[in-house]
Structure 1
Amino acid sequence: MGRGIFAGKAAFANATPRLMLYCLIHAMGSVFFGYDGASFGGVQAMTPFMNKFGSYSATKKAYYLPSRTASLMNSLPLLGKFTGTVVVGPIIERIGHRRAMGVTCLVQIVGAIIQVTSNHAAQFVTGRFLVYTAVGLVENVVPTYQSEIAPAPLRGFFVGSIQLCLTFGSLIAGIVNESMSRRTDSSGWQIATAIQALPAVLIMCGLWFTPNSPRWLVFNDRSDEAITVLRKVRRQEDVDNGRPEMEIAAMRDEGQIGKREKGPWRDLFSEKNKRRTGIACSIMALQQLTGVTFSSSYGPTFYRSVGLADKAFVYAVVNNATSVVTAMMAMVFLDMFGRRTLVFHGGWSQGAFLIAIGALGRKASPNVHESNGIVAGMQLYTCILHMTLGPGAYITAAEVGTQTLREKTMALSTALNVVVGFIVVFVTPYLLAEIGAGLGYIWGGFAFFTSIWAWFCMPELKGRNLEEIDQLFEANIPAWQFHKFQTDGLSHDLAVLEGGKADAKVVEQLEDTERGDAVNR
């Protein structure tokens, strides 16, 4: 199919109020993902928190957080996140996205309660472990749900919202930490920690009104329920024209019905699926290797290392604020320009600014112009990251897997993302101490490599429905030819209809097919 489909007026006409509501309710899970990631960095620096869980220094006559305690509080939660990414696939396959999100919210709330009521560091670490288990779950549940319920021309818009919610959560965490840091009692860190549970409570209330993914329902032989869901989230004129039934017919045409057994983990590396698995894992690893964790976790520390300590937190807040704006832009650009295009141009652009940071920060005491250049480079690098590779990694990993392995593909790629992120977090302090701004050369090198990888290995999937994607990979064509490939069958015709370009002949063909399926049933 020619790729004239993009997120224009015709595409956004598919964004019905109920579709937006269902996606928004799930997207709020990414808010506590972003909040959790940024909140603890400020909480552990609060004096009452150190008084509660730290040790007393007779020399400094003050409490401090011992290195071992700080290390456990920061590293063990990543094991929880890894656990969440590993178990989430079977959970979704078994009980569906809706109930899986309910489980996620319960784990998040319990973890927050354990932290707030902690009297010992071990209890607080246990709470953080549970909270990050929920983060690992939500990192998979949200994008896979949105990718399966959204129409193809808007899949990038809705799944791309994960980056907006992440940065918004980080921004809220920064504001809350700044406000709570002024308190002299334990209520400051307790309130900042308790807010982690608020999005989970709101989501649980909203889940009463949200349906399961129609594809999950179809896969579990509940096609009538799937049609009911699609009738709720599609335009009335499309419902009147029988589009929900057409979508089910397209899934049936691609052999999605009748395969009720989800594929085992080993199938991820079969000859048929290893390319798709490799794409998902590669882009999620590259997201970390281009410095996303460095930007979010060590931004203030980096500014201090290049002599900008007095404005370090101000620059970090500005980073978060501008990232919210660029993440909003990404939601539109992913469907307008395509995932591959954004990641390709984002890679070399990030690389250029990271190399510039490394060059300008090579001096022990950079002058005012060099300092301004470092700040500008860091801001622009972060903006580009949140507009390109940041959301591009999630949408690609969510849509590239087969129906039988989609949850496991996403789970494996996010688990790898956690492992690589842990390595980045672990080595960054040592690299900052040794080479300072020279770290930009390392992340910049990976950013340039990302562009090369995107050109040769990353397929363009914008505007393609999930059934078309199966045809594209079965054709075994090079990544740079995906956008030219003409699919066929009902999935092709449905994509034309979704793009607002269907003529009477296409609609009639789809209706005839559905009538034939109805007779067969």
Structure 2
Amino acid sequence: MAATADQDVESKIQHNVHQDVYDEKAGINTFKADAIEAENAEYNMTVLEAVRAYPMASFWAFVMSCTIIMESYDVFLMGNFLALPKFIEDFGVVSPLTGQKVVEAKWQSALQVSGQLGALIGVFLAGPLTSRIGYRWATLTGLMLLNVFIFAMYFAKSLPVMFVSQLLEGIPWGIFIANAPAYCSEIVPLRLRAPATQMLQMFWAIGSIIVGAVTYHYNDINAEVAYRIPIALQWMFPTPLAILIFLAPESPWWLVRKGRTEEAAKSVERLGKKSTVHSSETVAMMRRVIELEKSEKKPNHVELFKGTDLRRTLIVCGVYAAQNLTGNLIANQAVYFFKQAGMNTETAFALGLITSALQMIFVMLSWFLTTYYGRRSIYLWGSAGNCVLLIALGIAASVGGGKAASNAQASLGLIVSVLFTLGPAPASWVIIGETSAIRLRPLTTGMGRATYYIVEIPCIFLASYMLNVDAANLGGKCGYVWGGTAFFCLVVAWWGLPEMKGRSYREIDIMFKRRIPARKWKKTDININDDE
């Protein structure tokens, strides 16, 4: 009897163990089935269906993108100040060549790189900060700091103080520019990743339009308000944005990374319509990708340069760096370039404003191009077009003086600035948002933007040297230099930039792990059941 009782107990234990194993397997199968269901749902959506299903995701991506206005505003503000008569009168020196006042080339360069130096610090702070406290609180921290730092700029009475105040303002910019593309790409479904991240370029253009309109209005006023009011207008942005971002949902991907799946589900429900969005399935899809990338280590910068993550980091850094080498600097210094091309002050400011308005329109056109034709194709064709136009700009400046040559240079400068926002610039934001691993995304976007500034800072000095009448005074001949760098970037992109259009984050992870060459991505099929 005792033996029989022992056998019964042992039999029950084995039955319970088998039942637990079965339940665990059933749970895993259900989890994977939910993940597959959510991924298929995103694949099968059209762009309009995605907008209808996730209306608030589009809205919050729009709000986060607004933070880019502030960096754009100040970058273009300093460029426009260098062409503003009252600013030149107060801070310039008499040129021995022309007998007229100009801001010295060293200060032209210093003022334009000061914000970038601060942003370089900001992007390195952004990755660890965001990984720890999330996109919302990191962005709110930057907005509150910016409110304080604007005071230093507004009351500055000398170029050194302006330099330092710009550097301080740059620190929050670095946080915004690192977080915005990552947050936007994480809160929207697959079909909306391109337009959501490309909004960043549109808001860059909006910032330049606001600056262009303000400085155009004040360019003929002979008083300090000509540059003080444009500085003070920076206070329009931080507080209203801080209120909105405080109310915004945290990225569900970030919450899942932290193991806060219930909060992630609530975040998904806030981003989409409850009637069409199945939050449990969407969170399962996120968990599946994060399990694929799972590591015992905390995310750190060293990982960005190991294994397959090295390739992803190089793509993000390369795309960011190329923005400075394919026409961007002519766009950022458009007003000063137009003056150097022979336009009078009022015409130069008017052309700068027209350029910014056209850029915004062309960014909107790029939404359709990258959504339906892909990232790689638009990036390569846009870069090739800019390369040709930059060489043409150099030729126009080499054929002689006269009004016709000046008009040709101004026209080509305008076209280069506008075409840049149709192809390479907006496609870059999509590529940056999609390439990095979910686990390392805040660090990768921060490192990429750091590369942007590291390349941009010497390029600004070079651009100022090439354009300044007291230095090289090349004018439109700088097109030869930028045309050469644009061609180099085009060749590297053709060789190493993959096409990620229509790919889920799971597929992107798998394709990088399989080391598929960039030019074969478009033709490669990944099975929906693959988890390797």
User: Do these two structures clear the TM 0.5 threshold for a shared fold by scoring above it?
Assistant: yes
**Contact between 1:399 and 1:406, CA under 8 Å: does it hold in 2?**
no
**Contact between 2:393 and 2:479, CA under 8 Å: does it hold in 1?**
yes
Task: Identify if the C-alpha distance between structure 1 residues 56 and 384 changes in structure 2 by more than 3 Å, giving closer, same or farther.
Answer: closer
In the alignment, does 2:124 pair up with 1:89? no
Question: Residue 138 of structure 1 aligns with which residue?
Answer: 176
Question: Residue 342 of structure 1 aligns with which residue?
Answer: 378
**Contact between 1:153 and 1:464, CA under 8 Å: does it hold in 2?**
no
Q: Determine helix, strand or coil for the equivalent of 1:118.
A: coil
Q: Determine the C-alpha separation between the residues in 2 that align with 1:290 and 1:62.
A: 32
Question: Residue 331 of structure 1 aligns with which residue?
Answer: 367
Q: For 1:258-297, list aligned pairs within 5 A.
A: 259=295, 261-297=297-333
Question: Residue 519 of structure 2 aligns with which residue?
Answer: 480
Q: Determine the C-alpha separation between the residues in 1 that align with 2:91 and 2:80.
A: 15
**Contact between 1:301 and 1:312, CA under 8 Å: does it hold in 2?**
yes
In the alignment, does 2:237 pair up with 1:199? yes
Deviations, residues 44-86 of structure 1 (Å, cap 9, x unaligned): 55565567666799xx999875666555433333211111111
Q: For 1:220-299, list aligned pairs within 5 A.
A: 220-239=258-277, 242=278, 244-254=279-289, 255=291, 259=295, 261-297=297-333, 299=334
Task: Pick the aligned partner of 2:228 from 178, 190, 211.
Answer: 190
Task: Pick the aligned partner of 1:393 from 415, 428, 445.
Answer: 428
One-letter code of the match for 1:364?
Answer: G
One-letter code of the match for 2:390?
Answer: L
Q: Determine the C-alpha separation between the residues in 2 that align with 1:11 and 1:78.
A: 36
Question: Residue 48 of structure 2 aligns with which residue?
Answer: 9
Task: Pick the aligned partner of 1:105 from 143, 146, 149.
Answer: 143
Deviations, residues 299-338 of structure 1 (Å, cap 9, x unaligned): 2333344434463333222211111100111233222211
**Contact between 1:251 and 1:491, CA under 8 Å: does it hold in 2?**
no
Q: Determine the C-alpha separation between the residues in 2 that align with 1:7 and 1:337.
A: 14
One-letter code of the match for 2:143?
Answer: C
Deviations, residues 178-237 of structure 1 (Å, cap 9, x unaligned): 223344443332221011121112211102320111111011111100000101212333
Q: Determine helix, strand or coil for the equivalent of 1:289.
A: coil
Question: Residue 514 of structure 1 aligns with which residue?
Answer: none
Task: Pick the aligned partner of 2:452 from 417, 422, 427.
Answer: 417
Shift of 1:458: 0.7
Q: Determine the C-alpha separation between the residues in 2 that align with 1:45 and 1:305.
A: 10
Q: Determine helix, strand or coil for the equivalent of 2:439.
A: coil
Task: Identify if the C-alpha distance between structure 1 residues 49 and 427 changes in structure 2 by more than 3 Å, giving closer, same or farther.
Answer: closer
Question: Residue 493 of structure 2 aligns with which residue?
Answer: 454
Task: Identify if the C-alpha distance between structure 1 residues 177 and 208 changes in structure 2 by more than 3 Å, giving closer, same or farther.
Answer: same
Shift of 1:256: 5.7
Relative to structure 2, which stretch is displaced further, 483-492 or 381-390? 483-492
Question: Residue 12 of structure 2 aligns with which residue?
Answer: none
Question: Residue 216 of structure 1 aligns with which residue?
Answer: 254
Question: Residue 17 of structure 2 aligns with which residue?
Answer: none
* Larger Rg computed on CA atoms: 2
Q: Determine the C-alpha separation between the residues in 1 that align with 2:180 and 2:357.
A: 23
Q: Determine the C-alpha separation between the residues in 1 that align with 2:86 and 2:410.
A: 32
Shift of 1:475: 1.9
Q: Determine the C-alpha separation between the residues in 1 that align with 2:530 and 2:136.
A: 26
Deviations, residues 444-500 of structure 1 (Å, cap 9, x unaligned): 2333333333332111112222232111211211112212222234699xxxxxxxx
**Contact between 1:146 and 1:159, CA under 8 Å: does it hold in 2?**
yes
Q: Which runs of 5+ in 2 are unaligned?
A: 1-38
Q: Determine the C-alpha separation between the residues in 2 that align with 1:179 and 1:491.
A: 59
Question: Residue 512 of structure 1 aligns with which residue?
Answer: none
Q: Determine helix, strand or coil for the equivalent of 1:273.
A: helix
Task: Pick the aligned partner of 1:165 from 186, 189, 203.
Answer: 203
Task: Identify if the C-alpha distance between structure 1 residues 146 and 262 changes in structure 2 by more than 3 Å, giving closer, same or farther.
Answer: farther
One-letter code of the match for 2:145?
Answer: V
Q: Which runs of 5+ in 1 are unaligned?
A: 493-521
Question: Residue 383 of structure 1 aligns with which residue?
Answer: 418
Task: Pick the aligned partner of 2:475 from 436, 458, 465.
Answer: 436
Task: Identify if the C-alpha distance between structure 1 residues 82 and 110 changes in structure 2 by more than 3 Å, giving closer, same or farther.
Answer: same
Q: Determine helix, strand or coil for the equivalent of 1:262.
A: coil
Q: Determine helix, strand or coil for the equivalent of 1:196.
A: helix
Q: Determine the C-alpha separation between the residues in 1 that align with 2:92 and 2:249.
A: 46
Question: Residue 495 of structure 1 aligns with which residue?
Answer: none
Q: Determine helix, strand or coil for the equivalent of 1:128.
A: helix
Relative to structure 2, which stretch is displaced further, 246-255 or 154-163? 246-255
Q: Determine helix, strand or coil for the equivalent of 1:238.
A: coil
Identity of aligned residues (%): 24
Q: Determine helix, strand or coil for the equivalent of 1:237.
A: coil
Q: Determine helix, strand or coil for the equivalent of 1:160.
A: helix
**Contact between 2:58 and 2:188, CA under 8 Å: does it hold in 1?**
no
Relative to structure 2, which stretch is displaced further, 348-357 or 433-442? 433-442
Relative to structure 2, which stretch is displaced further, 212-221 or 118-127? 118-127
Relative to structure 2, which stretch is displaced further, 85-94 or 433-442? 433-442
Task: Pick the aligned partner of 1:127 from 165, 177, 184.
Answer: 165
Aligned residue pairs total 486
RMSD: 3.0
Task: Identify if the C-alpha distance between structure 1 residues 286 and 64 changes in structure 2 by more than 3 Å, giving closer, same or farther.
Answer: closer
Shift of 1:249: 1.1
Q: Determine helix, strand or coil for the equivalent of 1:20.
A: helix
Deviations, residues 345-395 of structure 1 (Å, cap 9, x unaligned): 111111121122222221231452x44443433332222210111122222
Deviations, residues 232-289 of structure 1 (Å, cap 9, x unaligned): 21233323xx2x2112112222316865743221111112211111111111111111
One-letter code of the match for 2:418?
Answer: C
**Contact between 1:357 and 1:374, CA under 8 Å: does it hold in 2?**
yes
Relative to structure 2, which stretch is displaced further, 410-419 or 33-42? 33-42
Task: Pick the aligned partner of 2:79 from 41, 56, 67.
Answer: 41
Q: Determine the C-alpha separation between the residues in 2 that align with 1:66 and 1:465.
A: 50
**Contact between 1:250 and 1:491, CA under 8 Å: does it hold in 2?**
no
Q: Determine helix, strand or coil for the equivalent of 1:101.
A: helix
Q: Determine the C-alpha separation between the residues in 2 that align with 1:365 and 1:70.
A: 26
Q: Determine the C-alpha separation between the residues in 1 that align with 2:524 and 2:184.
A: 25
Task: Identify if the C-alpha distance between structure 1 residues 213 and 232 changes in structure 2 by more than 3 Å, giving closer, same or farther.
Answer: same
Deviations, residues 10-33 of structure 1 (Å, cap 9, x unaligned): 4443441x1122112111101112
Relative to structure 2, which stretch is displaced further, 445-454 or 470-479? 445-454
